[in-house]
Amino acid sequence: MSVAPRVGLFVTCLVDLFRPSVGFAAVKLLEDAGCTVEVPAAQTCCGQPAYNAGDRKDARGIAIGVLKAFEGYDYVVVPSGSCAGMIKVHFERLFSDDPVHAAAARDLAARTWELTSFLADVLKVAALPARHDGTVAYHDSCSSLREMGVRNQPRALLSQVTGLTLVEVPNGEACCGFGGTFAVKYGDISGEIVRKKADSVASTGATTLVAGDLGCLFNIAGKLKRDGSAIVVRHVAEILAGMTDDPPIGEAS
Amino acid sequence: MQPTSALFRDNVTKALLDTDLQTALSRVDKNFTARRTAAVTAMPEFEALRDDAVRIKDHVLAHLDLYLEKFEEIVRTNGGHVHWAKTPEDARRIVLDLCQAAGARTVTKGKSMIAEEIALNPYLEEHGITPVETDLGEYIIQLADEPPSHIIGPAIHKTKEQVSDLFAEHHRQYGKTQRLIEGVDLVAEAREILRPRYLAADVGITGANFLIAETGSSVIVTNEGNGDLTQQLPSTHIVIASLEKIVPTLEDASTLLRVLARSATGQQMSVYTTFSTGPKRTEDPDGPNAYHVVLLDNGRSALLGSEFQEILRCIRCGACFNHCPVYASIGGHAYGWVYSGPMGAVLTPAMIGIDQAHHLPSATPFCGRCEAVCPMRIPLPKMMRHWREQAFERKLDGVRQRWAIRAWAWLAKRPALYRRMTGLVVRYLAWRGRPLGRMDDLPFARGWTATRDFPAPQGRTFSARWAQSRKAGTP
Ligand code: SF4
């Protein structure tokens, strides 16, 4: 690309509050690939908690804030399939009876990408300089997989990392049981679902688990750590950017 | 069936502690999920077939009255009768009248979810008529006096050992004293006991997978052949079906049969596909003397034109159940009514009311796998969300949860305040989780921490660090 694409990074509330290192890893990956990255200060959350609770009015209010904050960027990149899916697929549905905002939502949707698919499909990143020695399992988050069509992109990027062996999680298309507030509201069901997922992950023999969604990662890491597992859990961006100095998810330095 | 959907939370607790249920549920993957995947992968045109199937049903739903009238007319021409039932009470009454007119003491039944929906068996029993379930799964749960837990595998919640116990207890009266262990032996014994009952039955009642308007036929698929015996041997055959089972032509039925079997059991076709077209004609060697079709509405016509219309495309294949992580964890009974799984989470509130059933569309992680495998491309999560919106409007959720969502949303609309507040909370949590990098108990999120740890935040928020780093001029 001749002119550096101007990317607005939607950090997501979980990354902002719980794991800033993912945000910095995303910035590094995007800048290394030639983008100009900005982080609009007016962003907060994509509105999923309200939307999924059936609180459409509040979800709209939050969505309008996102529409404004990300006006004018060439691309909006999100280190989460779930929040990207909210913006790309669901915002427009929120404004089914509000043509002005619906048009803005459509416009934003067309510019919005999940991080790994943006790197692979748009920026065509083909030679990452990162190194990671070990066996890595990639977990497909439901939104990435089924809403955003993200499957091969993170795997292709991980295969560029020197020293890394990628393994597949059996029954990988199954949900980890996170589901946002579902994990707290129906914690017993969610806990049973993540138990199965953690067992599947453990069965791969992987030393590291990565995914593109912090929600799933917190859920699976929480279960693995409760079980005393030594498997290290990280966001895929941290591995791709070679930024693994911070302790893994759910662990102390 | 008395709905217990309002007691969903208690039902879930019970289900999660039920080790037999958990053992039984662990077979779903092997028996259904894997087979469906194999069948679908082996058929490159499967996606196109799905599109055809959706088109057929959408067309039918747009002209439902037309095809129903046509069906009635042809059935009448063939010498059969069509009865219209608005409510479950109407349907029960009609079936009972027909049974009494036939002087029935025993009726054999093929598998029918509509019979469950109208709670037919207890009603017949109250009126001195003995219903005998002939589908093996239905037979098992009839012995156990339980409702089905899956639309195509009614006894999927039972382990082989439990079936063995049930047979030992109930077959003793037929002189069967040996406790059987092997699946084949159990099937053989059930068959031996059911055989004479087919012959003794005065009426046979079946459901219908499809009704065909151009021929006036009802179609059932089974893998055991029990449906054939149920509808051919007794002198009266009653079909109970819901309105949306209608399809225009034989050709359409065959398209739907192809997606149905693959989605349900991974078969190319079910072992038996049986078409019933009216009573026995003079030149027929066998068949019933009377043929009745009872068509149940029970709220379905009210869904036409609503945001729930697409659920009427459902062909009851069960694929959404078999790929649902919630169903796999709690089984069908926990949903508390006839229909469970993702399809039940959409349909049940329409039938028993969102006030009673609000947990069902709420208790899902929205993983979207149901929609991905549904042969009829029914947007199940989207419809669950419609229900959630209704539940939220009616304040059916817990007060605390509601308050938390609204408070979060209020804050999220005020970025500057949001930054300050969340910054404080995050620092507190980071301090609390410092020793291990995680917390094993969070008072406001015990639903989470009861079964897993909660990872601690890294410390300061991204926005705080970003603002600082950019100010300092370092990227
Ligand atoms: S909703 Fe779809 S997947 Fe579920 S039973 Fe109906 S047709 Fe099958």
pLDDT digits (tens, 9 = 90+) for B304-335: 999 999 999 999 999 999 999 999 999 999 99
pTM of the model: 0.96
pLDDT band at B469 (very low <50, low <70, confident <90, very high): confident
B423 phi/psi in degrees, rounded to 5? -55, -40
Determine if ligand 1 sits within 6 Å of the CB of residue B376: yes
Ligand 1 centroid from CA B326, angstroms: 15
User: Which chain B residues are Cβ-neighbours of A183 within 8 angstroms?
Assistant: 365, 447-448
Task: List residues bridging with A164 in a β-sheet.
Answer: A134
Helix (DSSP H) and strand (DSSP E) numbers for chain A: 14, 8
Contact A16 B462 (CB under 8 A): yes
Residues contacting residue B353 through CB under 8 Å, at least 6 positions apart = none
H or E element that contains A8: strand A6-9
Determine if ligand 1 sits within 6 Å of the CB of residue B374: yes
H or E element that contains A76: strand A75-78
Whether A75 and chain B come into contact, CB under 8 Å, resolves to no
CB B300 within 8 A of CB B78: no
pLDDT of residue A235: 98
Cα–Cα distance for residue pair A59/A86, rounded to 1 Å: 10
Determine if ligand 1 sits within 6 Å of the CB of residue B315: yes
pLDDT of residue B295: 98
Task: Identify from A92, A175, A199, A238 which residue to disrupt to test chain B contact, counting B C-beta atoms within 10 A and taking the largest count.
Answer: A175
Residue of B nearest to A182 (CA): B365
pLDDT (tens digit, 9 = 90+) per residue, B151-204? 999 999 999 999 999 999 999 999 998 899 999 999 999 999 999 999 999 999
User: Which chain A residues are Cβ-neighbours of B34 within 8 angstroms?
Assistant: none
Which residue's structure tokens are 């009829």? B376
How many angstroms separate the Cα of B380 from the Cα of each of A51, B251, B384? 16, 27, 6
User: Which chain B residues are Cβ-neighbours of A41 within 8 angstroms?
Assistant: 415, 463, 467
User: Which chain B residues are Cβ-neighbours of A173 within 8 angstroms?
Assistant: 369
Which residue's structure tokens are 């046979």? B204
Ligand 1 centroid from CA B90, angstroms: 27
Ligand 1 centroid from CA B344, angstroms: 10
Coil/strand/helix, residue B131: strand
Whether A40 and chain B come into contact, CB under 8 Å, resolves to no
Coil/strand/helix, residue B210: strand
A62-66, B62-66, B285-289: least confidently modelled range: B285-289
pLDDT band at B397 (very low <50, low <70, confident <90, very high): confident
Coil/strand/helix, residue B86: coil
The number of the ligand 1 atom at minimal distance from the alpha carbon of B346 is 1
pLDDT (tens digit, 9 = 90+) per residue, A45-87? 999 999 999 999 999 999 999 999 999 999 999 999 999 999 9
CA nearest B216: which of B316, B412, B350, B82? B82
Which member of B329, B387, B402 has the closest CB to residue A189?
A: B329
- Percent over 70 (pLDDT), chain A: 99
In this prediction, residues A160-189 reach a mean pLDDT of 97
**N- to C-terminal Cα separation, chain B:** 65
Which member of B388, B412, B453 has the closest CB to residue A54?
A: B388
Sort A227 into a burial class: Cβ within 10 Å, 0-12 / 13-18 / 19+.
Answer: middle
pLDDT (tens digit, 9 = 90+) per residue, B119-132? 999 999 999 999 99
The mean predicted confidence, pLDDT, of chain B is 95
CB B147 within 8 A of CB B335: no
User: Which chain B residues are Cβ-neighbours of A97 within 8 angstroms?
Assistant: none
pLDDT of residue B475: 45
In this prediction, residues A135-148 reach a mean pLDDT of 98
CB A181 within 8 A of CB B448: no
CB B241 within 8 A of CB B218: yes
Q: Quick one: residue B23, left, alpha or beta (phi over 0 = left, psi -120 to 50 = alpha)?
A: alpha
CB A124 within 8 A of CB A155: no
| Total number of residues shown for chain A | 253
Task: List residues bridging with B93 in a β-sheet.
Answer: none
The mean predicted confidence, pLDDT, of chain A is 97
pLDDT of residue B57: 98
Coil/strand/helix, residue B212: strand
User: Which chain B residues are Cβ-neighbours of A56 within 8 angstroms?
Assistant: 389, 392
Contact B13 A50 (CB under 8 A): no
Q: Does ipTM surpass 0.90 in this model?
A: yes
Whether A219 and chain B come into contact, CB under 8 Å, resolves to yes
Q: Measured between CA atoms, how close is A48 to chain B, in angstroms?
A: 10
pLDDT(B436) > 90: yes
pLDDT of residue B471: 67
Determine if ligand 1 sits within 6 Å of the CB of residue B320: yes
A7 phi/psi in degrees, rounded to 5? -110, 130
Q: Measured between CA atoms, how close is B313 to chain A, in angstroms?
A: 21
CA nearest A21: which of A207, A228, A248, A211? A248
The number of the ligand 1 atom at minimal distance from the alpha carbon of B151 is 5
pLDDT (tens digit, 9 = 90+) per residue, B213-249? 999 999 999 998 888 889 989 999 999 999 999 999 9
Which residue's structure tokens are 């427009």? A92
| CB proximity under 8 Å: A 115-154 to B | 142-143, 146-147
H or E element that contains B359: helix B359-362
pLDDT(A2) > 70: no
Residue type, A28: K
Task: Identify from B340, B383, B451, B469 which residue to disrupt to test chain A contact, counting A C-beta atoms within 10 A and taking the largest count.
Answer: B451
CB B260 within 8 A of CB B319: no
Strand positions, DSSP E, A168-215: 208-211
Task: Identify from A186, A216, A229 which residue to disrupt to test chain B contact, counting B C-beta atoms within 10 A and taking the largest count.
Answer: A186
| CB proximity under 8 Å: A 177-206 to B | 177-196
Residue of A nearest to B8 (CA): A186
Contact B368 A146 (CB under 8 A): yes
User: Which chain A residues are Cβ-neighbours of B393 within 8 angstroms?
Assistant: 54
- Percent over 90 (pLDDT), chain B: 90
pLDDT of residue B473: 53
CA torsion through residues B431, B436, B438, B440, sign: negative
Residue of A nearest to B443 (CA): A184
pLDDT(B474) > 60: no
In this prediction, residues B263-268 reach a mean pLDDT of 94
pLDDT band at B117 (very low <50, low <70, confident <90, very high): very high
CB B153 within 8 A of CB B331: no
User: Which chain B residues are Cβ-neighbours of A14 within 8 angstroms?
Assistant: none
pLDDT(A253) > 80: no
Which member of A50, A184, A250 has the closest CB to residue B455?
A: A250
pLDDT of residue B472: 61
CB A174 within 8 A of CB A197: yes
pLDDT of residue B401: 86
Whether A32 and chain B come into contact, CB under 8 Å, resolves to no
